[in-house]
Amino acid sequence: MSHSTAIVTGASQGIGRATAIRLARDFGSVVLVARNREHLVETAKAVEDQGAKTLILDIDLAEKTAAKIVVDKTLSAFGRIDALLNIAGAVPQIDLFEMTDEQWDGGMALKLHGARRLTIEAWNALMKAKGSVVFTSGNSAIFPKAPHAAVGTINAAIAALAKAFSDRGISDGVQVNSVLPGPVMTGRRRSYLEHWAPLHNMTVAEAMERFPRDAGIARYGEPEEIAELMAFLVSPAARWMTGSMLRMDGGEVKSV
């Protein structure tokens, strides 16, 4: 079994949970970070069933002290950090003209600043391990729209931040990339559709059919599909890839 260690944020659900479970095939230890301990325990069982050790850290990465706690506890438990996958963070989908300063700040606090602080805190350990970092952005970074302005703006900032880290990583020996998922059927998206559908005189099934069609794709993506891309990026096969923005979106954005 490998002695390598990966930290996965947002590991309680969706893409983060799927990624943690997938990485159990490649890493000896997986550190699971999110706010919901109950869900993290469920993820940990699935990871351990694949043969990896786990460390559960139920902590809010929006808090300024959280990054140091995560890194210190990871190094205390496993002695190294080989990969950091920044997946945590949901941004409110509120219109550009309606979103308040507090909502903007809340959206930035976890997904952007939480990932930034954690990457900086883990950097020395990643340098020692010649490790890898993945940031999670989204297609809206390329095509932001007024009804979801914060999502696009923050995703664009994350993509730029990843490129800045990758520039430093070339000399420091740390590989950094970002992933831009398209519409993925997570629990959060399902909850959104369950709320949205009755407000527009539609069933949830009709809403689930309409959104992919409007996006010009055949279906929603699955968290496990994004997890496979995450696993590739922190694998030896992708070692020469750094500073890249990789989209997996079923064809929603039809460009290179």
Query: What is the model's pLDDT at position 149?
Result: 84
Contact predicate 186/13, CB 8 Å: yes
Query: What is the model's pLDDT at position 93?
Result: 79
Contact predicate 132/174, CB 8 Å: yes
Q: How many CA atoms lie within 13 A of 193 on its CB side?
A: 20
Cα distance between residue 90 and residue 116, in whole Å:
15
Task: Fill in the amino acid letter for 209.
Answer: E
Cα distance between residue 187 and residue 244, in whole Å:
28
Cα distance between residue 124 and residue 84, in whole Å:
12
What the chain holds in terms of domains, given with CATH numbers, is 5-184+221-248 (3.40.50.720), 185-220 (no CATH)
Average pLDDT along the chain, 256 residues, taken 10 residues at a time? 90 97 98 98 98 98 98 98 95 86 92 97 98 95 85 94 98 98 89 87 91 90 97 98 95 82
> DSSP class of residue 113?
I
Q: What is the token pair recorded at 224?
A: 């496990």
Provide the H-helix boundaries in the chain: 14-23, 37-49, 66-78, 101-108, 115-129, 149-172, 187-199, 204-215, 223-233
Query: What is the model's pLDDT at position 94?
Result: 85
Place of tokens 């506890």: 73
Q: Which residues are within 8 A (CB) of 256 and not within 5 positions of it... i.e. 6 or more apart?
A: none
Q: Mapping DSSP to helix (H, G, I), strand (E, B) and coil, where does residue 247 land?
A: strand
Query: What is the model's pLDDT at position 256?
Result: 67
Place of tokens 């750094």: 242
Contact predicate 109/152, CB 8 Å: no
Contact predicate 83/27, CB 8 Å: yes
Query: What is the model's pLDDT at position 146?
Result: 86
Query: What is the model's pLDDT at position 50?
Result: 96
